[in-house]
Amino acid sequence: TAWDRDEEQGSSGPVPVLPVTERRGTGLLWTCSSAACDKDEEQGYAGPVSRCLFSLLLLEPGEIYFEDFSAFMFPADTNIHDFERKRVIGRLKMCSKSIVFDPKDINKPIVKISLKECIDICEWNNPLLSKISSNRNVICVDCKQYVDILEGNILAPYKFKGVKQKFLFLLNYAMVDDCLPQILQLHRASSLAAAEQSSMGGPWKSSPPPKSSRRLTLNWRRSITFHPYFDIKNEQVELLIAAIVYSRQSRVSFDTLWLEDLYEKVVLETQGSKITPLVVNPGRILLTSSRLYFQPYNNIEPYPVLKIRLQDIRMIIKRRFLLRHVGLEVYCEGNSHLKHLYLSFKSPEDRDMLYQGLIGQHSLKLDNTDQEMMTLQWQNGVISNYDYLMYLNSLSDRTFNDLTQYPVFPWVISDMSSSTLDLSDSSCFRDLRKPVGALNPIRLKRLKERCEEMPPPKFLYGSHYSAPGFVLFYLVRKFPHYMLCLQNGRFDHPDRMFNSVPDVWKNVMNNMSDFKELIPAFYDTSQKGDFLVNSFGINFGYRHDGAKVGDVHLPLWAQERGVCLRMSVKSQVRWSQDVEGERYCQAFEVWLERGAGCGGGLVFYYLCYEGSVDLDSIKDLNQRHALEVQIMEFGQIPKHIFTLPHPHRLLGLPPTLATSHSCDFSESRDVQECVQSLTGHVVWHRTETLMTVALFQSHKESVCATALSGSGQFVVSVGQDSLLKMYSLSEKRQVRSVTLSSMALSSCIVLPDEKTLIVGCWNNSISSLFLDFWLQELHGYFDYMFQCTSGIILSILYNLEFGRIVDSIRAHEDAVSCLCWTNSTQMLVSGSWDCSIRIWQGMAEGKRIKPATALVAQLDHDAHITCLDITRDGELLVSGTQEGDLFLWYMESHLLKQKMQGHRGSVYAASFSPDSKKLVSCGEDGSFKVVDLSTGMLLYSKTLEEELRCLCWDGFTLLLGGSLGSLYVWDLILVQLKIKICAHSGLFKVMLMHPLAYRLSCVTPLAFVAARGHYSVVATNNTGVPRSPVLTVTASDDGSLVVTGGQDRRVIVWQPAISS
């Protein structure tokens, strides 16, 4: 209809776009858009408005609009003298259950004639016809009653005319033979039951007719010529209608003339339906290499073909429609002319085929808004409760395009009588830990008693908390045409309408069948409370006390001088402030769990739950129709998205980043003075500006571990060359090098006293060294070197002053792979390739160790231990294994707390946050994962392009070392990558004794080098620069120093480039 033909000239072209004009107090709608181009109430999208008032909302549920014809309508008693005066030009709409005449004059009413109310439909051959027009194409419709809609262009209840009337329709261009046979067959079908009529519905309901009947539909517009009174059984009529629908839809293919680009490659074409509130409109869907197209079978849409550029698509979400996984919703960026498109399909396979086709296009760039990311952002306070709840609604298949699954928001404020609202008073808040039905204990008791007495299937709540009727109950003033559609052209009784917020709350608290929650409009201040105001001036009627239904009455605390504010900004701000209130965050989390899948407190009628019925398996049309009505009208439980309790929100966030003066190692002042002048969070959050301040390359093999002294004076490194090395940061040079074993050194720890160093070794030992003399040499004392012997021992205490072993004890049965230390309990934990963890005490006392008392506990595993960490309070221990498992242990009882979601392949590193509330891990699968320890819920998971070998963090900023030499800096507050640095590069040997002695060009990601009789392989980047894994990363507590070590044998010291 947006491309309506000019009836007088016979030309075709777009109709000018006319704005919607509101006149308060009159109820006038100067123009009215169709449902397909209605504003989305939450997104604010408005499409072109047609001069035509016809909308799919005027049809019955499941009714299909086929096509229309230009025509004049005039009454049967018209004579030659008043023909010009009585005739009305417009469009005759042919639908599956009715015929509708839409006049061009918007002040004239739309005439809807139900086919089941028609007495006779035939071609009119009155002699008068030859006198008034040379066109003899007139259809006569004789009906028992009809409906006038939008008379005078006033939005009001439909007028049902219960009088016999005969209408004449003079077709301007079409022939009677083209449309009358179709109308006659639809008229015959109108005598069928409602369920059998619904089989005429969209493409997901109709199935191909048998081959024997397809010959009837070769040209359905001319071949179907059965007489309307031909006696056909219901089954035959149903088959005939199915053949008509199938023939019409299957023979229509996408018109490729609508393609924007001649070079577009067609990926797939299928059938589907566009879903808008209360409307399902079938059509053809075409996916090309650059665009997504939807071509409806009818002309009701504002454009003949809807087009979406793939580069404009930001989100693609799989949806449920009528509890079937056949929906797909596409969201576009803000400047796109079409903000979103909701499609449904015949089967989940058809939906998934389009989804995979979209995902496979290179021009598609989707936003990263996965559940874990949003949960972590909400927990960190980056996004508000409102935005997070809107996201969870979308994740549970709730959308503004489907009133049966409309977004749900909770009642929060319970005080509706006070003149002022004290947000510090807990009594003014609703208990979010309970569902609405359980807020009143007396009512809950009665509900339970009723549930026990009823026969199966039992249910506790006979009404849902969200259904189309409840949504439109709140939105009737803003979208009255939806309510007219839902209630067959009528508004609700004035006393049952949304008249007062306090009255609704009172009813929700006490009524045995009212448990509805709120909608997002109550908390969306951008809409300024427009749904509370009767801006169209619609006459909704009068209440029992004679008061006219107008604007919604608000609580006393939302009034100003007793006048109901038009926009109710005050109440919106109050509600929004409460939703953001910290005091109710914990209860809000319980409400989230109950509403989104964790907890069984809600018991509704079984058809509200997904999986309770399989509509595809039901062959009885009457039964299927009844179930569809139940699902559509009485609410649906959202999809479960939480299997664990929801994590708590962090109420204390990092301080705002402030500018601070810079410090540099080249300055003469002490490094510690500079570090103390900076707050830890300030420096950590500036790690995206890391710069190299020192580089040491003294190891002969890979650097396995590094340790940084608490004072920031020195760095210690150990490597596969069995060497322990110490570096002075102030002098930027190596000051010590000791060979501790004949095998590789795997790990090292500098104890807080900075006098003892503990080293793990592949020869099954752990060495403990005193650093006193080393530290003295740093301040000008004599140089001293000592070499240790190796053996199957646990601990060797070295006194560097006297150069002797203080004590030793037997160790693991295989190589020591990792160490960790807890200062709170003075415990050392070691992990080994012998699949065990051992907890030790007395390592920092400097005394002789007794074997019977040194070993506190042993924790056995089924695979090699690859990483360890302990919380700062010493209560929890985490261990990672070569098989990808993560285990959480109690340090006091040495019992397993839980086995956590791990990685595919080895877990290379795991670390607790400083507050012991979260755990982050990384592994061979290239992913890092953040887990909430209080609930065990995975907060965030991200897979990068390389294996992640090491990590460190302060709870908010995460440093990751990759197998291709990259150092990643992630902001876990905003949940985004801050910077990726190429940290380590170099050559490493993989094979010896190659006879070639020349160098090959490094032009591929895997290049080969031959030199001095050696044959080496080098990992390179795209520019040919060699890359080497980052094997260890360490940072100071305040983040002012970062140390990395790699397979390139380098130790690099980094510092944030903090501007003054």
What pLDDT digit, counting tens, does each position of 347-400 carry? 999 999 999 999 999 888 888 767 678 888 888 888 888 888 898 888 888 899
Q: Give the range among 46-55, 410-419, 456-465, 672-681 with minimum mean pLDDT.
A: 672-681
Distance CA 813, CA 822 (A): 24
Count of C-beta atoms within a 10 Å radius of residue 60? 16
Go through 166-182 and write b for each residue having 16 or more CB atoms within 10 A of its CB, e for each that does not.
ebbbbbbebebeebbbb
Ramachandran category for residue 743: left, alpha or beta (phi over 0 → left; psi -120 to 50 → alpha): beta
Superfamily of domain 386-595+622-633: BEACH domain (1.10.1540.10)
pLDDT for 422 equals 79
Q: Which of 217-231, 595-609, 782-796 has the highest mean pLDDT?
A: 595-609
537 exposed, middle or buried (CB, 10 Å; 0-12, 13-18, 19+)? middle
Q: Which residue has the higher pLDDT, 1011 or 518?
A: 518
pLDDT for 376 equals 84
Query: Are the beta carbons of 2 and 303 closer than 8 angstroms?
Result: yes
**pLDDT reading at 200 higher than 60:** no
Q: What Rg, from alpha-carbon coordinates, does the chain have?
A: 38
pLDDT for 186 equals 85
> 484 φ, ψ to 5°?
-60, -35
Q: Which residue has the higher pLDDT, 793 or 836?
A: 836
Provide the percentage of residues in the chain whose pLDDT is more than 90.
36
Residue 384 CB contacts under 8 Å (≥ 6 apart), including other chains:
579, 580
Q: Give the range among 374-383, 398-407, 716-725 with minimum mean pLDDT.
A: 374-383
Each residue's pLDDT tens digit, 474-529 = 999 999 999 999 999 999 999 999 999 999 999 999 999 899 999 999 888 788 88
What are the tokens at 432?
């979010």
pLDDT for 583 equals 53
pLDDT for 133 equals 66
3-state secondary structure of 584: helix
Residue 808 CB contacts under 8 Å (≥ 6 apart), including other chains:
791, 793, 794, 795, 796, 797
Q: Among 317, 316, 325, which residue's Cα sits nearest to residue 344?
A: 325
Each residue's pLDDT tens digit, 976-995 = 899 999 999 864 333 333 33
- Measured in residues, the chain has a length of 1060
Q: Are strands 98-103 and 110-114 parallel, antiparallel or unpaired?
A: antiparallel
Distance CA 706, CA 747 (A): 8
User: Rounded to the nearest 10 degrees, what angle do helices 468-475 and 621-633 cross at?
Assistant: 40
**pLDDT reading at 531 higher than 70:** yes
Ramachandran category for residue 714: left, alpha or beta (phi over 0 → left; psi -120 to 50 → alpha): beta
pLDDT for 676 equals 40
Describe the strand order of the beta sheet including 733-739 as a list of residue ranges. Answer: 703-708, 714-719, 723-728, 733-739
**pLDDT reading at 671 higher than 50:** no
Each residue's pLDDT tens digit, 533-567 = 999 999 999 999 999 999 999 888 876 433 334 33
Q: Which residue has the higher pLDDT, 824 or 704?
A: 704
Go through 427-461 and write b for each residue having 16 or more CB atoms within 10 A of its CB, e for each that does not.
ebbbebbbbbbbbbeebbeebeeeeeeeeeeebbb
3-state secondary structure of 624: helix
Distance CA 548, CA 533 (A): 13
Distance CA 52, CA 64 (A): 18
Q: Among 193, 253, 93, which residue's Cα sits nearest to residue 623?
A: 193
Max CA separation in the chain (angstroms): 131
**pLDDT reading at 955 higher than 70:** yes
Q: Are strands 138-143 and 118-123 parallel, antiparallel or unpaired?
A: antiparallel
Ramachandran category for residue 1022: left, alpha or beta (phi over 0 → left; psi -120 to 50 → alpha): alpha
Q: Give the range among 201-205, 278-282, 938-942 with minimum mean pLDDT.
A: 201-205
pLDDT band per the 50, 70, 90 thresholds, residue 471: very high
pLDDT for 306 equals 92
Tell me, what amino acid is at 468?
P
The domain defined by 262-367 folds into PH-domain like (2.30.29)
What are the tokens at 1047?
């397979």
pLDDT, the chain, mean: 76
Residue 531 CB contacts under 8 Å (≥ 6 apart), including other chains:
41, 474, 475, 477, 478, 521
pLDDT for 579 equals 57
Domain boundaries, the chain: 1-183, 262-367, 386-595+622-633
In what helix (H) or strand (E) does residue 626 lie, and over which residues does it extend?
helix 621-633
**pLDDT reading at 743 higher than 90:** no
Q: Which residue has the higher pLDDT, 438 or 373?
A: 438
Q: Among 438, 897, 291, 956, which residue's Cα sits nearest to residue 683?
A: 956
The domain defined by 1-183 folds into PH-domain like (2.30.29)
pLDDT for 969 equals 94
pLDDT for 849 equals 64
3-state secondary structure of 332: strand
**pLDDT reading at 675 higher than 80:** no
Residue 55 CB contacts under 8 Å (≥ 6 apart), including other chains:
32, 33, 34, 35, 300, 481
CA 796 to chain CA centroid, nearest Å: 55
Distance CA 953, CA 912 (A): 8
DSSP 144: S
3-state secondary structure of 355: helix
Distance CA 75, CA 206 (A): 37
Q: Is the peptide bond before 457 cis (omega within 30 degrees of 0)?
A: yes
Place of tokens 């795209």: 1022
> 412 φ, ψ to 5°?
-120, -45
Tell me if 262-367 shares its fold with 386-595+622-633: no
Q: Which residue has the higher pLDDT, 543 or 849?
A: 543
pLDDT for 506 equals 94
User: If DSSP states are collapsed to H, E and C, what string results for 176-223?
Assistant: HHHHHHHHHHHHHHCCCCHHHHHCCCCCCCCCCCCHHHHHHHCCHHHH
pLDDT band per the 50, 70, 90 thresholds, residue 740: confident
pLDDT for 884 equals 94
Provide the percentage of residues in the chain whose pLDDT is more than 70.
71
Distance CA 682, CA 877 (A): 29
Tell me, what amino acid is at 1017?
V
pLDDT for 651 equals 59
Q: Among 243, 207, 208, 246, which residue's Cα sits nearest to residue 226?
A: 243
Segment 331-349 shows an average pLDDT of: 87
**pLDDT reading at 957 higher than 80:** yes
pLDDT band per the 50, 70, 90 thresholds, residue 808: low
Query: Are the beta carbons of 1025 and 985 closer than 8 angstroms?
Result: yes
